[in-house]
Structure 1
Amino acid sequence: MVVPPVPAGQVGLGVETVDEMVVDSTNRRLYFSLGRGRSGVRVSDLSGGYQRTIGGLPGASGLLLSPDGATLYVALADADAVAVFDTKTLTETRRYPTGANTCPTRLAWALGKIYFGYGCAAPGFGLGSLAVGPSGGTVSLGLPLGGEYTAPPVLRGSTSSDYLLLAVDRTGPRSSLAPTQVTLLDVSWETPRRLGSDESWRECLGLEDASLSPDGGQFVLACSAIRNDDGLLNPADYHPAYSTADLSPVRRYYGGDTPVSVTTSPDGAYVILGANSVLETDPRVHVVRADGRGIRTYEFPRTARVIRAGVAAGGGTTTLHAVLTDQYGRNPTLHVLSEYTRGATWLSLHAPSTVEGRTVQLTGSLSRQYLDPLTPQRLQVKRKDAVGTWGLPDVLADANGRFTVNDWPTRPGENVYTVTYPGSETLAPASTSARLWVTGATSALTLTAPSTVKRAAKLTVSGKLTITGAPVPPPWTVQVTRKDASGTRTLPAVTASTSTGAFSFTDAPPVGGTVTYTATYAGDSLTTGSSKSAGVRVTHDPTTLKLTTKADPKNWAPTVTVTANLGKTYTNRQVCLYAQSHGEGRRTLKCGTVNSSGNLTATDLIHKRTTYTATFTGDHRHAPVTVTTVVKTPAKVDVALVSPSYTKSGNYRIFHYKGNPVAKSWVSPSAKSACMYHTVQEYRSGAWRTVTTSGCHKLNSSSQGTYTWTGKRKVGVNYRILAKFGGNTASEPTNSAWAYFRFRN
């Protein structure tokens, strides 16, 4: 028998020890109890992911799923109770006390009740039951077992013969060599009754695990040592099975020495044996049919150890779950073992390292774990090359598993051949690959084009195709495309010279902008294709765009009419108008299609110098263009005489002749730090005549300024004052209106 390695992949469980494991196929979970002296149940998905720990469960030991999978029962050896969990929500719903100092550990279903092995220390080990009802649980202790047990009995029930209960004394490991206590009970009586004698399995010493078949027809033991017919002890190298009808030996299941685990598939068709094989080879999990015929073996590293009762089979799947530790019993890991109901197969495939464009032959073999007669098996073949993956004709493996693949690879470079055995009812699928290198010809292209041309002007693009390696027959056809703003167009193909590889073509690009010409040689089954591109800048036809404004430049805050006029274009008749007042961001006035005269008009209200912009984004033939113009507007200037005290007479303010009039001026929009000038005039000889012109008075941060007139004055003479704004980058120079005043005694 040849044993392939266990599939790669193990998951650390993140705990120090694992006491029991149970598979919840309905909710796709695994549960791991942590054992006495610890608290909690570790939970994961079926692959060992999404791990978490349910705490608050002192001495969590035995685990039991209800027949419908809706409830998980946990024996709490350090809390004298059985905890009940909803498997959908993982919340604890009840906790049933089992009595002081009972230390329940192992659980089993039988005839609607939960039976549990209990006992904190010898000689107080016994069997109890828990009848669960709507109003609570009824606990019975001290049920008959027969014989003295050295530990709380391990219990196993049967799904079909649900009146049967198997109780065994876990006396392992082999070093103890303690005789095995096994009791088969009929729990259909008010007080469970023992069935038959326990003498027939006295050959088993150092018991580690037991399994009761789903139909109740037999039970299988995992024993550390076996007493032969002469009474001599030998290391166990098989798992003995016994009939439940008369307790007689019925079969030996061989699966390696030092058995530590045994379980049965949910349908009873397979028996799964766990052995650490410390005397032979490596720790292993061995799967046999119920009749003893070998199906599959999973081997593990020699330093690993299968824990007692460490293998479980979930309902409705072909996957096993095994828990192993290191050789010191630490660092438990989960191993997911697939396809346990079908024999392991594996493929080998051999290929030459290099071929040169000719037929290639690959040879291989299909092997299986148990060398039963093998009928010819159909194998699927695929080839993956630089282009893709191709299905090839199936091949047959003969009765010895040998097969041959013949092919003509169509692409140079690395070719990967994959042979797959899809499996059968009794054999698992397998797949393998082999690589080989196919040499052929390679091609390369160069391409040259003018850097710039006018739109619609004729140009010539030239290139060269170079082929190296295997000879390639003519013609050497080169495909050509042109890509511009309107899309990609295929141009007439050209033929490269087989002597020089040179080729050329002409074109008149109709669209402005960047135009890319691409030459492509497709290659063939043994020649790599190649491609090369060259870019040309095609200038657009010029575009005429005019921008005019209309406004009264003397008015403050005038309304401006802005008009753009677009000349001839190809397809695009869209223009956008923008305004940007001094010190502000750009505003969109209007975007739209020009009218039949080419005009687009918008209005704008401004308070300071504003730049207007018209843009045209261009089209396939005409260039984009932007034009600007500036509209200037005067500032708003006000002046008022504010002190000293005065009286009023019409438009005049009357000051005492000893007071110096103070004029206050304002400028809008804000002109902080700009210069303000003041002019004072008096009326004499029938006209206004200037008597004072001030220098620069800077406006404050509020765009305000003051001026005090200290000049000579006459009582009864009319005066007036004017504020002059010198202008800035935002506004044109502006004068205020006159403010009138005179003096009195």
Structure 2
Amino acid sequence: MPHRITRAALSAALVAGSTVFALSAPGPASAVDLKAALPITSFGDILVDGANKRIYITDPAAGKVIITGYAGQVLSTATGLTGVSGLLLAKDGDVYAAVPGLKAITAFNEVGTRIATYEASTDVRPVTLAEAGGRLWFGEADGGLGRLQRGGDDEPDLIPDVTTTTFDEAPALSSAGTLVAAVDPSVTTADVTVFDASTTTPSAVVAKSLGRTRDLVFNADGSRLLVAGPQSLARAVKPADLTTVQSYSAGADGNAVAVKPDGTLAVGIGGTAGKAVSVFAPGSATPTKQFTVQGGGTLQPGGLSWEPGGPRLFGVSGSGSSYTLQIFGDPSKLATSVQLTVPAKVELGRTATITGVFGAPVPAGLPVVITRKDSAGSRRVGPQTVPANGRFSISDKPTRSGTVSYTVALAGNADYSPANATKSFQVGTIKATTLTLDRNGSTFAAGSTVTFTAKLGATSSNRSVEIWADPYGSDQPNRLVRKATANSKGVVTAAFKLTRTTTMSAIFRGDNFTSARTARSTVATKVSVSVALDRHYGTGKLGSVSYHFLRSTVDPRFITSMSPYPGRSALLEIQYHDGKQWRPWKSAWSKLTDGKAYNGLTGTHTVGLKYRVRASYVYGKSGDTVNTTTYGAYKYFTFTR
């Protein structure tokens, strides 16, 4: 969207003659036209950032930029910007300010924080700003047109005199697409010049005197250039040849012009406080509405800016060192709003606080109806008109359980649109419920998929249960297995594959009037463990038991396989049979590598003696505690000649 950046050249007399101004609180709103005192002692430019609902206003004499809300309340102030003048809202969302006293251009982000300063290496004093052809341009105090070089390594930030101009002082600028329109507002017969800024060296498309022009702006699509000045100059011209398309009846001393995206035009008059601003509907040559400056002073040159996409028209008026933000209504009704805040719940017998805030520009004294409704019926409560500060608070001590609703209805009038808000909260008695989870203390084989069953007791409204699994060990996080609504019996089930000893948790988060509950169940999980014999020459049964047969001249090797875990060891145990019973013989601990451990049996092997071997995981001794003790199955072997 094209944006007008422009204002009269910085006046040395204004800077030198400024005085200190004491900020006072804005008075109550009056009719449609609102006002707020501004803490500035001079005026350079006004810019409205619709995306972030902020207004930027420059004060050249004080060297500062103030940032306000739509009601004129100051949100922040940037100081130390000597002579700061023109403003630009760039397409990237940043706001730029021309600072001639520092030979610089300063950039602000979307929240009004200063983020960059571009400085000149020569005597360049930027005063006004525009964006066209993907580049930023500035009007110089001596009448030149310069370019802002952002991020360039080979050139200075500010490049002056990129093209020839005929201006003696800083030109007012406006831009659309690849076009930049410029005029020296201080000269009676100055030419309006339209430049083609599609390259780094702009070229003049057309130059023509339209009479003294104090302000100019392109419409949204760049098909019209709107100009305003004294001698009843208020017209729309074609950018290609500056021929007049439309003349407007706006008054004798035009000094500001602003246009909405839909073509609605506002023309400001500087010489009188009466009917200082005329608003023209698209296609109309006569004003559809006129506004008067509130609180004294006159509208400042270039001191108008529309709220992008909104109904407000903002202006700056002043005299001497006293300035006021003017908030003018639109030909349509001003939008209103109300925010209502209620508690999420209230325990029966306790007091609830309900608050409301009417958003600007809702004026104090406008009729409002606030209604409370519960199972016993409805009644009117709270203030009957908008309070002076736009805020209200109601204390409520419900005597019945159930839903309580509050509704705020602002009827509006000829100038303000209606606004409504309704909020509800629940009233009841907080109670506890029951929650159980089965399988606690059970033991399962590694890899078992086990179904866990949670059972939830009576609740107020929430019937949702979460089942979480937290395997032992720091390497696996607690994870949600299932979240579901309990069935008619209060049951929620979840299946989980066990690889570690695991703590399962059933969680009920509570509701308005039921306390939260958690039930836990810890199930022990075995490891997967086995041992295999290597180097045997065959197998066969001795009695009913299967044996591995090895030559007495061969040393057997035992291969242990176990569920892996960092630092885990396996216990290998060998027993022999003395003819009556099995007796322990040898044992060894072996570190696992990728879940495997290898052990050999060397020495002289007794022919005919029966042996058996097993591998085991022992809780706390195998190097960790994430599983329960698990003994592997025995493998049997014997030696032959």
Where on the TM-score scale, by shorter chain, does this alignment land: which range?
Answer: 0.3 to 0.5
* Higher share of residues assigned strand: 1
Larger radius of gyration: 1
Instruction: Tell which has more relative contact order, 1 or 2 (C-alpha 8 A, sep 6+).
Output: 2
TM, length-normalised to structure 2: 0.46
Q: TM-score, normalised by structure 1?
A: 0.40
